[in-house]
Amino acid sequence: VFVLDGTTVVEAAGQAGIILNQPCGGGGTCGKCRVEVLEGAPEPVASEQAVLSPAELADGWRLACQMTIRGHTVITVPPQARFFEQKILVKGRERAYSLDPSLRKVCVSVPEGSTDDPRSDMDRVRDAIAADEYLRVDLELLRALPGMLRRSDNRVTFILEGDEIQNVESGDTTDSVWGVAFDIGTTTLVGSLMDLRTGQTAAVAGRTNPQTHFGDDVVTRISYIESHDGGLARLRARLLGAMNAIIAELCESAGIECESVYAATAVGNTTMSHIFLGIDPTSIGHAPYLAVFREAVDCRARTLDVAINPDANLHVLPNIAGFVGSDTIGVVLASGMAHDDRVQLAIDIGTNGEVVIGNRDRMLACSCAAGPALEGARIQFGMRASEGAISKVVFNDTIETSVIGGGAPTGICGSGLIDAVAQALDCGLVDPTGRIVAPDEVPEARRESLVEHDGQPAICLVPAERTRMGQAIVLTQKDFREVQLATAAIRAGVQVLMSEFGVGLDELEAVLVAGGFGNFIRRSHAQRMGLLPGVPHERIEYIGNAAATGARMALACRSCRAEAEDISRRIEYIELATRADFQMHYMDAMEFPSGDH
């Protein structure tokens, strides 16, 4: 490709159709965008010197986000720097609810006006619809109504959203009532197309949130918005592009026009909801981490450029706090825990870990800044759960791995990481403090797994000759520290909520594990490293992408929408940052459990 002098390698690669991983948002700190410069390598800049070893720099390795191109350059992009679509979980637990969508279609024949019947057009429409409530109508529709009645021989279908007439269509179109529900995650987007006559989900599609190019976590994205003119619009445009592509895919697979979709709902963490609505989220990024709004928001699709019918109503579910969003409301809604007598704990393990505890009488929620380590970021060979990622690790006589898509691996994703850490603890390669032990501290058969990587102790999972890039995949001492930090944050958050609620492990009747990532992890391994509480296995239940399920429920059921508002008001938010007991639990949780459960 031809690029102007001073173009970054990330941009040049983009022009060549190669999208690079940028977990730190191009900040030059994560090292995940490293590429090999075969010709034309410039002098390394300070950030490259901080992240790459002298040997790597001498071999021509540079950071694609930092290096700018000055003349003819030849670069190889290794597989682990490439961004691939990841495995996205689209299903989740769904409790029974009644089908009663806020969107309705009513076909009526409106009688002609005459001297004997001098009612206005709208009075005749209201009487024909025979609605209980007074129906509101906007000016544009009023302007279009007489022409539409004339052209349709007075037989028309009204599209009603709550007590408002949204639109009018010629003839009887009541056989087509569609809505779309979105879960806007930091990492993944999931859209579901629902037939609102039956409550059936007609199609589900997921994509990676393209904002990941601007950073893996919400804090990095907020700082991008703060430091770049037009940053909010850019991030929003990326998100919207992917959402509209999902809508097009859903409608195509159901064989309908996007214009036929007249309702949409969305859940997301608080930052994602702000960005989607075009509301500046920067106040969430700094203490005291305040959101601009908490309540549900309703608007027309055209206001947000969502590619469904422009007059469709779009309902964004309410938030709880700056770091606990409507996706958590979705989890609570789908799990039914707000109606249950039993005390249940719901954990949504993602870049940010959200935890809710409670029953029908009381509910508490907190957010644990776990960071993206458990999803593979900030781990030397960590990657998303996409093709080439080790998703499962088994310590037999040798270490065996299974790889997404088969073939040789390029890195390890969260579920593989949890397997590896739990078993490294079990066989004594790592002690409870998270230290990789010295070779003479383990039986001889295990010693060959202990290696050195960049001057630090490491555990070799796959030797160089069996990987895609010809470099051994290892877990370094620093990786174990990252996992410890992430696990400790969630574990300490769970402990604070349990003590605030006044229950011990015995009284915890169910542990619900939500989130796309959560479904792929093994309970015993997650418990071994302290990520999930030590309750009997049968009390741990995976509830899948419950946030997306909650969004579908709010689309298909008016009372679920009302319940979401109620949950948002009822949940007590616990701010961990200011609590001394969190700090204490966090320090304790830095040590891995001793392995007696």
What residue ranges bind ligand FES (CB under 6 A)?
22-24, 26-33, 63, 65
Q: Which is nearer to ligand FES, 13 or 393 (CB)?
A: 13
Q: Which is nearer to ligand FES, 31 or 350 (CB)?
A: 31
Q: Which is nearer to ligand FES, 28 or 353 (CB)?
A: 28
**Least distance to ligand FES from the beta carbon of 32, Å?**
5
How far the first Cα of the chain sits from its last, in Å, is 57
Q: Which is nearer to ligand FES, 41 or 574 (CB)?
A: 41
Amino acid letter, residue 144: A
Q: H/E element holding 205?
A: strand 200-208
* Planar angle of CA 415, 417, 421, nearest 5 degrees: 125
Q: Which is nearer to ligand FES, 33 or 496 (CB)?
A: 33
Q: Which is nearer to ligand FES, 62 or 126 (CB)?
A: 62
**Least distance to ligand FES from the beta carbon of 80, Å?**
13
**Least distance to ligand FES from the beta carbon of 365, Å?**
31
Pairing of strands 313-316, 297-300: antiparallel
Reported in sequence order, the residue ranges of 54-145 that DSSP labels E, i.e. its strands, are: 61-63, 74-76, 103-109, 136-137
Q: Which of 512, 511, 560 is nearest to 534 (CA)?
A: 511
Q: Which is nearer to ligand FES, 220 or 335 (CB)?
A: 220
Q: Contacts from 467-473 at CB under 8 Å and sequence distance 24+? A: 467/408, 467/409, 467/410, 468/79, 468/388, 468/407, 468/408, 468/409, 468/410, 469/78, 469/79, 469/80, 469/410, 473/381, 473/390, 473/409, 473/411, 473/412
Contact status, residue 371 vs residue 486, Cβ threshold 8 Å: yes
The residue assigned the tokens 């989220």 is: 281
**Least distance to ligand FES from the beta carbon of 412, Å?**
18
**Least distance to ligand FES from the beta carbon of 187, Å?**
15
Q: Which is nearer to ligand FES, 31 or 457 (CB)?
A: 31
Contact status, residue 518 vs residue 347, Cβ threshold 8 Å: yes
User: Which residues sit opposite 310 in a β-bridge?
Assistant: none
Q: Which is nearer to ligand FES, 66 or 201 (CB)?
A: 66
How many angstroms separate the CA atoms of 591 and 520, rounded?
A: 24
User: Which residues sit opposite 289 in a β-bridge?
Assistant: none
Burial 285-319 (b: 16+ CB within 10 A, else e): beeeeebbebebbeebbeebebbbbebbbbbbbbb
Q: H/E element holding 555?
A: helix 546-556
User: Using alpha carbons only, how large is the chain's radius of gyration in Å?
Assistant: 27
Ordered DSSP codes for 477-543: HHHHHHHHHHHHHHHHHHHHHHHHHT--GGG--EEEEESTTGGGS-HHHHHHTTSS----GGGEEEE
Q: Which is nearer to ligand FES, 161 or 216 (CB)?
A: 216
**Least distance to ligand FES from the beta carbon of 250, Å?**
32
**Least distance to ligand FES from the beta carbon of 461, Å?**
23
Taking residue 106's Cβ as centre, other Cβ atoms within 10 Å add up to 15
SS3 264: strand
Q: Which is nearer to ligand FES, 22 or 545 (CB)?
A: 22
**Least distance to ligand FES from the beta carbon of 405, Å?**
24
Q: Which is nearer to ligand FES, 351 or 401 (CB)?
A: 351
* Residue in the shown chain whose Cβ atom is closest to ligand FES: 65
**Least distance to ligand FES from the beta carbon of 34, Å?**
8
Q: Which is nearer to ligand FES, 33 or 184 (CB)?
A: 33
**Least distance to ligand FES from the beta carbon of 454, Å?**
16
Ordered DSSP codes for 9-68: HHHHHHHTT-PBP-TTSS-S-S-TTEEEEEE-PPPPPHHHHHHS-HHHHHTTEEETTT-B
**Least distance to ligand FES from the beta carbon of 22, Å?**
4
Ordered DSSP codes for 403-445: ETTSSS-SEE-HHHHHHHHHHHHHTTSB-TTSPBPPGGGS-HH
**Least distance to ligand FES from the beta carbon of 38, Å?**
19
**Least distance to ligand FES from the beta carbon of 23, Å?**
6
Q: Which of 260, 259, 271 is nearest to 209 (CA)?
A: 271
31, 46, 212, 275, 489 from 354: Cα distances, Å? 28, 36, 20, 20, 11
Q: Which is nearer to ligand FES, 30 or 329 (CB)?
A: 30
Q: Which is nearer to ligand FES, 44 or 550 (CB)?
A: 44
**Least distance to ligand FES from the beta carbon of 28, Å?**
5
Backbone angles phi, psi at 482, to 5 degrees: -60, -45
**Least distance to ligand FES from the beta carbon of 30, Å?**
4
SS3 6: coil
User: Which residues sit opposite 92 in a β-bridge?
Assistant: 544
Backbone angles phi, psi at 446, to 5 degrees: -90, -10
